[in-house]
Amino acid sequence: MRSFASLLSAALAATSALASPVAQTVVDLGSSALERRADPSLVGYLGAFFLVDDPFVYLYVSIGNDATALRPLNAGAPVIRPTQGTGGVRDPAIVEGGGADKGKKWYIIGTDLDIGKTDWDAAQRQGSKGIFVWESTDLIKWTGERLVVVEDDTAGMVWAPEAIWDPAQGQYLVHWASKFYPSSDPAHTGDPGPIK
């Protein structure tokens, strides 16, 4: 697995939904009392989603603190329409900035795949080797689209990326799903080989 800092030169930390603190009481610890960090009515969840075969990213927010009751943002329109790679994204994940970017920057990462332009077999054998990345400082405007290649030609695809910030290492760790084919099968017509 490669470090994310060397792959993207950007900060990422993974979760597919961001949760706000839900504690509703103030605890007195003697000389210093804890204060609420935000208005308790603002607690909830933000999630990034793709819809079936639609190649775009949609954001939904929970109704209060109920993660099963969601409403679409942006009047239900996509918040991200990829312009690179296959022109489509699946498996979007919201990633909180880590280190100096914690609480200041967020990222959406995702699979480069518009399944409407291919089929599942071809997407696994000759799919994109890259991960889409967008960034935001307010969770509303997403900019800086880039497609970062993370695997070599022996990989059939790179799917479902996630990332976490490792404070001990001061870098992001990114993981994804791939199938690998022997270098003697550059067209990836045979069976995938052993895991690298």
Ordered by start, the domain boundaries in the chain are: 4-19+41-177
The fourth-level CATH superfamily of domain 4-19+41-177 is Glycosyl hydrolase domain; family 43 (2.115.10.20)
Contact indicator for 159, 176 with CB cutoff of 8 Å: yes
Q: What is the tens place of the pLDDT at every residue in 143-165?
A: 999 999 999 999 999 999 999 99
Question: Residue 13 and residue 96: Cα distance in Å, rounded?
Answer: 5
| Chain mean position to CA 46 | 12
Count the alpha carbons within 13 Å of 193 in the hemisphere toward its beta carbon. 12
| pLDDT at residue 12, rounded to an integer | 32
Asked which of 44-48, 128-132, 156-160 is least confident by mean pLDDT, the reply is: 44-48
* Amino acid at the residue 177: A
Question: Residue 128 and residue 153: Cα distance in Å, rounded?
Answer: 10
* Model confidence at 70: pLDDT above 50: yes
Q: What is the largest CA-CA distance in the chain?
A: 69
Question: Residue 155 and residue 179: Cα distance in Å, rounded?
Answer: 6
